[in-house]
Amino acid sequence: MRIGYLDWKCFNGADTKREMEKQGHCVLPFFREGYNEPVSEGFVEYFLSFVKEKGVDLIFSYNFFPPLAEGAHQAGIPYISVVYDNPYVYLYSYTVMYDTNRIYLFDSDWVREMNAGGLSNIFYTVLPGDLKENTPDAGKYACDISFIGALYNEEHDFYSRMEPGLSPYMKGYLNGLMSSQHLIYGEDLIKDALTPDVLGELYKALPLEKERTCAEPDYYRFLKYVIDRRLTSIERIKYLALLGEKFGRENSIDLYTLDPDYRIAGIRNRGIAEYETVMPRVFAESRINLNVTLRSISSGIPQRCIDIMSNGGFLLSNYQSDFFLDTLTEDGSAAFVQGEDIECYSEEGELVEKTAYYLSHEEERKRIALNGYQKVKKYYSLEKFLKRIL
């Protein structure tokens, strides 16, 4: 096939193009500003000209973009998009309804929501693993425990901008909701509590306007972009502080995050980990790779978890139900098996207990890391993924 590939700065882009070519496809990269706008007549005009000139059979992009969907619909060609961000407001664009779309999401709860709304062109997938044969060694990134990810504590984040305009009652109400949600994974306690009256108060404090070309629920931006990010920030900092307190004196703990100056006792902040070069080495050379999932991801396996296993790293993650779905495996077995391919925790005490256990059970930790790598290679590699969806 002649595949038009939107060449924006996304994860796994170069390897995806190489793998498509390896599988015998002709890859035709294209790019123009306006691709990530809700509406862009200029982009659609450029796109239609590109498709006609190059004889494109199919369009592919990581993440879904309404102008591509509009262009593909007008051209009458399929548009495959693989969404690895969550939240992602463009999934509520009216262009999602076009029958030329084939959209893949990594969160099964989100897929069920969309399917229930009549969108049969949205499918579940485990995100693809870009396998690397990294051999752990005593290199510059070696450590006992590492965490790579945003702390969502930047100075002007949405919650910080909203908070000064909230009444004392509303501040207490939101703090109570987040404290309750902190105790539970896999069940959203906050969404139903965001009644029209509550949303009205939040809007007065932070006027987040809905995009007119999107049919997003009224709660979506406040829940997913404001409250869930603050809850994630609280959890990530709390868990890191706990590990620093319990293990920081005798074990090396590295944090890779956007703010290189943020300090947590017992933890070394090493700033940003570059995705293509540094991150794979960190995953391979860390004895334990910690994952604390962004709370807007209800059930899905984040790309970070797949990346850890793709590089032979040992994954210790919070519980996410999609780890244990019986989908995309030939024998109908679970996607991953706890204690064999990955390890999960469901609360703070279990996090500390399992961290201590795997720091002192080296061979078992190595065996699980190897099993996780082999499971990704067998079922979820970039090669297998592209063959399946194309």
Interval 112-131: pLDDT, tens: 999 999 999 999 999 999 98
Q: What is the pLDDT of residue 37?
A: 97
Q: Give me the torsion for CA of 162, 166, 169, 174, rounded to 10°.
A: -10
CA distance 293 to 323: 12
How far CA 305 is from CA of 51, 106, 133, 300, 332, in Å, comes to 36, 12, 16, 10, 21
Q: Give the chain's domains with CATH numbers.
A: 2-125 (3.40.50.11930), 143-154+228-381 (3.40.50.2000), 158-222 (no CATH)
CA distance 333 to 323: 11
Would the pLDDT of 282 be above 70? yes
- Which among 100, 7, 82, 122 is positioned nearest to 380, based on CA atoms? 82
Report pLDDT digits (tens) over 220-252: 999 999 999 999 999 999 999 999 999 999 999
CA distance 308 to 283: 5
Instruction: Supply the mean pLDDT for the chain.
Output: 95
Would the pLDDT of 136 be above 60? no
* Residue type at 276 in one-letter notation: E
Q: What is the pLDDT of residue 135?
A: 60
Q: Lowest-confidence range among 58-62, 187-191, 240-244, 267-271? A: 187-191
Q: How many CB atoms lie within 10 A of CB 250?
A: 9
Q: What is the pLDDT of residue 328?
A: 77
Report pLDDT digits (tens) over 29-51: 999 999 999 999 999 999 999 99
Q: What is the pLDDT of residue 132?
A: 78
Beta strands in the chain (DSSP E): 2-6, 26-30, 58-62, 79-83, 101-105, 122-124, 143-148, 253-256, 268-269, 286-291, 315-318, 343-345
